[in-house]
Chains A and B, each alone.
Chain A
Amino acid sequence: MLRHPKAARTPFSIGIAMQPLKPVAAGARVALGVAFFVVFVAVWAFATLGGFVSPTFLADPLTMLRSGWTLLTQMGFAHDIGMTVWRVLGGFALAALLALPLGVAMGAYKPIEAFFEPFVSFARYLPASAFIPLLILWAGIGEAQKLAVIFIGSFFQLVLMIAVAVGNTRRDLVEAAYTLGASDRSLVNRVLIPGAAPEIAEILRMVLGWAWTYVIVAELIGASSGIGHMITDSQALLATDQIIFGIIVIGLIGLASDLAFKTLNRRMFPWAQLDR
């Protein structure tokens, strides 16, 4: 193994020698990841339980957990979580379903890209949250409006990124396929799509993360259920414990869906992972 001369002299305090880009062992990686959570909660507990911060502004971790339990068992917060998850998945699935064919078509056929790309590039910078008042006007404050916010927030991003992923297919693979007798149609189906598939899966994972931020914004205004609605209600009651619990639940669901997506991608595209 290559050893940096300085590595032996400057060990990290818990026995991990640091060197640029040197990988960290799997066990140490998990330990370090958990350690920061512990530090974070410890600082929070010290500041709140030690009486340095007023409970009006920031609840302590124990109160947060207690009221979280109350929320779940007595106030039907599980239903709110379910509603939010449903909205994210529904809006995102709708966006992905339409963005996939359009993105692939744009990536594969340059005239189609030339037709849509300028508008989509413009539309992706329109903030989804700015559409909320308009969407309420059009679709009311029901589910359609929530789904529409998620859709606007993710559709244009998906289209552009998928188009780029498909368009970046290695040209020598395209040429190889043609010399093997591939038609234009099978070039798209058998080369462009399977070649870009792992990157498209990564794009879906990333944009799903963004969709989570849109749903909460959509629920902060004109909603009667959902995590965002609970957070707005709690603000009126100055219940910082509940607000923090809601935020943490969002984070946990995001983390779980991200991990699930990563695992799924690794299973579906073993060939893309072999060198990592």
Chain B
Amino acid sequence: MHVISLRGVSRTFRSTHGDTLALRHTDFDVQENDFVTILGPSGCGKSTLLRIVAGLDHATSGEVLQDGKRITGPGPDRGMVFQSYTLFPWLTVHENVCFGLRERGVARSEQNDIARDFIDRVGLSGFERHYPKQLSGGMQQRTALARALANQPRVLLMDEPFGALDHQTRELMQELLLGIWEAQRKTVLFVTHDIDEAVFMANRVVVMTARPGRIKLERPVELPHPRHYSVKTSPAFAALKAELTDEVRAEVLATQAAQSGRNAA
């Protein structure tokens, strides 16, 4: 059985200026232990897709299943890391990581053990008592990752979580996340517009078309694990990257053509 299944999912945003079809009849499955990255130009509906899986948005038609059961709203079985910094500013790093555990009524001592473990895994030991404002952007996102993981979700949903970070920090975060995935084999659905990032971490890359978004193609990434960052310079990586670059580029151009066409009209 698939962990996540989308069946004919589409999403239309209604407004006074008319309706916008953001996502068009999408079918899509995520297997156990999959690391899937969804790649596409801005505004292609990839974040909408992820938010529908999270239960933060709803499909206009079609349905989303998790382990065969229909998703009707957000829940702790689908942990999420957002692009914006969403740590609770009034809680310390430790308290942020404990948020979901406390919600489930886990005993205090067990909460502390779990939090310590995940804070250690993201390399933030010693920062437990810091408030989010005292941390850099990369450290905040590492805490957000620890907070999502500590909750032991079935699927980890990531919406361009490293998008606001500088290039070097972003690459380190990719290695960190990949290392955690290689150790734990969590099921991950990761949205990004960064092709390097998509190929480096995934075992499957999905490319979406320009709006209205649908799945254009899927490619398995057959690079061996554990992956070292030097894999980014290997011929296999370069070949896949070149293909995906062409495919995404075509969609960006299509978006621009559609926009200039609309402006000319």
Interface residues of A (CB under 8 A from B): 170, 172-173, 175-183, 186, 190-191, 194-195, 197, 269-272, 274-275
Contacts and interface: CB of A to CB of B under 8 A. Distances in A.
B89 A191 contact: no
Contact of A179 (B56, B132, B133, B134): B56
B237 interface: no
B13 interface: no
B91 to A, nearest CB: 8
Contact of A175 (B56, B75, B90, B151): B56
Given A180-B99, A274-B134, A197 B90 contact: yes
Given A274-B133, A275-B133, A182 B103 contact: yes
A175 B103 contact: no
Given A172-B82, A271-B131, A179 B54 contact: yes
A177 B133 contact: no
Nearest to A191: B88
Given A181-B151, A186-B103, 10 more contacts: A173-B88, A175-B82, A175-B86, A178-B56, A179-B74, A180-B99, A181-B75, A183-B103, A271-B91, A274-B133
B240 to A, nearest CB: 31
20 contacts: A172-B82, A176-B82, A176-B86, A176-B144, A178-B73, A179-B76, A179-B78, A180-B79, A180-B148, A180-B151, A181-B103, A191-B88, A195-B88, A195-B90, A197-B90, A269-B90, A271-B89, A271-B132, A271-B133, A272-B89
Contacts, number: 77
Interface string B67-107: 00000011110111010101011110000000110011000
Nearest to B57: A175
Contacts of A190: 99, 103
A182 B55 CA distance: 13
Contacts of B90: 194-195, 197, 269, 271-272
A180 B76 contact: yes
B116 interface: no
B238 to A, nearest CB: 36
A123 B195 CA distance: 57
A274 B104 CA distance: 30
A129 to B, nearest CB: 38
Contacts of B144: 176
A271 B133 CA distance: 7
Given A271-B89, A271-B90, A176 B131 contact: no
A170 B88 CA distance: 10
Nearest to A194: B90
B11 interface: no
B147 interface: yes
Contacts of A181: 75-76, 100, 103-104, 151
Contacts of B151: 180-181
A186 B157 CA distance: 22
Nearest to A176: B86
B118 to A, nearest CB: 13
